[in-house]
A and B are shown apart, each in its own frame.
Chain A
């Protein structure tokens, strides 16, 4: 595992330990995706956080917000100590999800309930088209989230309105599999007139390559990246035991899980 992947995971673990809550399995499955977007793909920087032409990252699978904070810390937007010392506290700006009203840029949406981020991102992508601005909108969704009807409403809207500035990323960590059979998501999204690519969601090189390729396709079709991932990736314990879907580490577990992340 890349050094940065380890670092981001250790930060997420520590934040979860400090606020005594979190959905770490889901966080660990999408860290590479978010990192690659911010580090290699998006037109975004700390100084551009309120630029009208910036690219937007919308976290639709809100349970993974603890994966966003480490990336924004690494990019210098948040201060690690500030986040770690305050996350989850009564008057804090930082919580397990997000509240954009507490920030001047940096956080683009309020995540939480599933099925909201994608139509919200589609609305922003549409507005950017109307205003003739260059922004791309990247929306991180869960595979399970696609059980929500509003996700498909957003897909209809996006393809009908030719939103080729909208990128839907599915963190496919097989959450849906324990409930329903989603069958072939690639085929489904292609039927909605998306350009679809499948990729190893933990392979930064592959992710970068796919995003770069799709960004060049200004063909009136929205984009989808189905990123195959593993829940809890980076920790043997978390990959094996689903209790880590919603659990925070105590001091002992923090040390153990940190060692596991270091070892991979």
Chain B
């Protein structure tokens, strides 16, 4: 996904004179030629994510399309007030592409993890949050949004889906399959595991890559007695408000397969972490079985 993004950057800088790409000291290997050929519009800008958000807003004010590349927690958590005031409050657009996702830098420790990203960005009205599941989907979503004058955050992961790769559209969930006993919300890189766990189950699977704004309309069509399973590679609870809002006035029974809210102090591989926190097809199946066994009318067990 990262490679696809940086290739797209090269093309964008070459062809579109009103675009600017700033990287915070990562990924230069893939854009070396563009950096040499267009040093003003394609550069390794410096290690200052917070100030850079303000700089990006200032560039957007003067009519440029800024694209910023960095590591997810530094782009989002370090720069939160700049995101809120300089981008969202002033209504200036920028494309912020973060690598690392929740735990891609598994051996680096919690400084490099960002399971909070969705929850944080959802707290700032006007921001968009996109989590593609494959490189094809990244390109589709980037091309649909990068000129829309909103602060748009792209969460790119080094661990994409390998089997399922449907076409996606900004702010639209994809109905992967329809069933009657529950609705499973598969987020981003969790689609392969969801499909493996649900293959013989009579459930609806909705695939979400745009998480803010949230496609309430599609979800609201698949109530399925209020049995909702959220499978998301973020902190648990990141989409709870959206699920409740989609079914406003109706009881919902939500279960989750997502990261437990704690400071991760373990290392190992990304796969080990996914196993430890239960983001596996086995656990999805287990939760789904429990969900479809529960009686109706009980909210959020």
Chain A residues in contact with chain B, CB under 8 A? 52, 99-101, 108-110, 112-113, 116, 118-131, 133, 135, 149-150, 153-154, 156-157, 160
Chain B residues with CB under 8 Å of A101's CB are 89-91
Also in contact, A121 and B81, with CB within 8 A (given A130-B20, A153-B51): no
Chain B residues with CB under 8 Å of A121's CB are 58
Q: How far is the CA of A99 from the CA of B91 in the complex (A)?
A: 10
User: Are A157 and B90 within 8 A (Cβ)?
Assistant: no
The 8 A CB mask of B75-118 against A (1 = contact, 0 = none) is: 00000011001100111000000000000000000000000000
User: Are B48 and A124 within 8 A (Cβ)?
Assistant: no
Residue in contact with A119 in the complex, picked from B20, B54, B64, CB distance below 8 Å? B54
User: Are A131 and B63 within 8 A (Cβ)?
Assistant: yes
Q: How far is the CA of A135 from the CA of B20 in the complex (A)?
A: 19
Interface of B is mostly: helix
CB distance from A113 to the nearest CB of B (A): 6
Q: How far is the CA of A214 from the CA of B90 in the complex (A)?
A: 30
User: Are B48 and A126 within 8 A (Cβ)?
Assistant: no
Also in contact, A110 and B58, with CB within 8 A (given A153-B48, A157-B45): no
User: Are B50 and A150 within 8 A (Cβ)?
Assistant: yes
User: Are A124 and B61 within 8 A (Cβ)?
Assistant: yes
Interface of A is mostly: helix
Also in contact, A128 and B62, with CB within 8 A (given A113-B85, A120-B57, A157-B55): yes
User: Are A120 and B58 within 8 A (Cβ)?
Assistant: yes
- Tell me which residues from 29 to 52 in chain B have a Cβ below 8 Å from any Cβ of chain A: 40-41, 45-46, 48, 50-52
User: Are A116 and B56 within 8 A (Cβ)?
Assistant: no
- Tell me which residues from 176 to 211 in chain B have a Cβ below 8 Å from any Cβ of chain A: none
User: Are A127 and B54 within 8 A (Cβ)?
Assistant: no
Also in contact, A109 and B59, with CB within 8 A (given A116-B82, A116-B85): no
User: Are A110 and B64 within 8 A (Cβ)?
Assistant: no
Given A130-B40, A157-B46, output 11 extra A-B contacts at Cβ < 8 Å.
A52-B63, A99-B89, A101-B91, A108-B61, A119-B55, A123-B62, A126-B55, A131-B63, A150-B50, A153-B46, A153-B51
User: Are A110 and B90 within 8 A (Cβ)?
Assistant: yes
Also in contact, A124 and B62, with CB within 8 A (given A119-B51, A157-B51): yes
